[in-house]
Amino acid sequence: MNTLRLALLSLAALVAIFLGWTYLHQPAALTAGSQRGRTSPQEVAAMRRAIERNVAGATDYAGFFERLKAAFPAEYEAFVTRAAERAAVAGETPSADALMIEAARELRSSHGVLAAKAEGPALDHFFEAKRAMLDALAAKDQALCVDFLYGGGNGDFAAFSRDHRSLLADMANAGLDAINDGQAKRVERDAPNDEDFHTLENALRAQGVSNAAIGALLDGKAPNPPLEDGEMCQAGQIFLQTLAALPEAARRRIYGFAVELMAHS
C-alpha cells in the first residue's frame, strides 16, 4: 500500500496546520525561555488582566476566544492561566496574535480528533479556510507559502498574521466549528483507500503538477534538488484545490483522515 504510506506522511505534513499552528514555533511571548526569576500571584493576576484586554481588543479574534470559553471552559481557563504565568516570568505581555496561535494549537491537541467525526459541510469549510490562507500567502510571499507547506517556522509569518487576522480567525473558527460538529454528530467514516489516493495523484498530474512536486507533497519532504518556490507554492495550491474537487465520498474520507492525523501530530 505504497500510496497509503505516502499519504500518511504527506497529509500529516501538508495539512498538519490544523488551525494553522503546528508549522509555527511556539510564540516567544508565551515561552519561559527568558526567565527573570520568581513572580508573585499579583503579577500573574495583572498579566492575566492584560492578556484578556489584548484578546478583547482584537476584534477579529475576540469572537473565537468567547466561543472557546463557552465550548470548553476548563481548557480556556487553563490556557489563560498558563499564558499569564509564562508572561509574568518573561515580563512581557503576549500579543493577541501569539495568544490566538497558541490557544488554537492547544485546542487542536486536546480536542482536534473530534473534527474528524464532523459532517461533510463542516469538514469542507475547515479546508476551505486553509485554502484561503494558502492563497493569501502565495500572493504575498511565495517563500513563506512554501514554508507553510512544509510545516516550517521560518519566514515572517508573525508579521503576515498581524496583517491578515481575519484569515487566522476564519481558520480558527472553522476548526472549532468542526470540533463542535464532530462532538455532536460523531460521524464514522472508512479510512481512505488506495483508489482515493491514486485518483488524487492522477488529478494532480492532469493539472500539470510535476512528479517532483507530487512526490514532495506526498512525502512531506523537500525534493533534491529543490524546486523553485513559485512551482512548489503553486503545487500546494493545486493540491488543496484538487482535494476539494474530488468526488464527495473520497474527499471526505481523506479530509477526515487528515484531520485525525493532525490531531495526533
Residue 22 has pLDDT above 50, yes or no: no
pLDDT at 9: 47
Cα separation, 191 vs 174, whole angstroms: 22
Nearest-CA neighbor of 111 among 74, 62, 150, 148? 74
- Return mean pLDDT, the chain: 83
Q: Is the pLDDT of residue 216 over 70?
A: yes
pLDDT exceeds cutoff 50 at 80: yes
pLDDT tops 80 at residue 38? no
pLDDT value, residue 37: 59
The pLDDT of residue 108 is: 84
Burial class of residue 9, CB neighbours in 10 A (0-12, 13-18, 19+): middle
The pLDDT assigned to 76 comes to 96
What pTM, to 2 d.p., does this model score? 0.83
Nearest Cα neighbor of 20 from 119, 108, 91, 79 is 108
What is the distance between the alpha carbons of residues 196 and 211, in angstroms, rounded to a whole number?
18
Query: Each residue of 45-56: b (16+ CB within 10 Å) or e?
Result: ebbbebbeebbe
> Mind listing the pLDDT tens digit for each residue in 238-261?
999 999 999 999 999 999 988 887
Residue 176 in this model has a pLDDT that exceeds 60 = yes
Percentage of the chain beyond pLDDT 70 is 81
Q: How confident is the model at residue 151 (pLDDT cuts 50, 70, 90)?
A: low
Measure the CA–CA gap between 215 and 174, rounded to whole angstroms.
29
Q: How many CB atoms lie within 10 A of CB 240?
A: 21
Question: How far is 126 from 19, CA to CA, in rounded Å?
Answer: 9
The pLDDT value recorded for residue 17 is 38
- Of 146, 143, 122, 101, the closest CA to residue 239 belongs to 146
Mean pLDDT in residue range 124-143: 92
Euclidean distance between CA atoms 236 and 227, whole angstroms: 12
Domain chopping of the chain, boundaries: 2-264
**Average pLDDT estimate for 82-111:** 90
Q: What per-residue confidence (pLDDT) applies to 88? A: 93
Q: Give the rounded percent of residues in the chain with a pLDDT score beyond 90.
A: 52
Instruction: Evaluate if residue 109 carries a pLDDT over 90.
Output: no
pLDDT of residue 24: 43
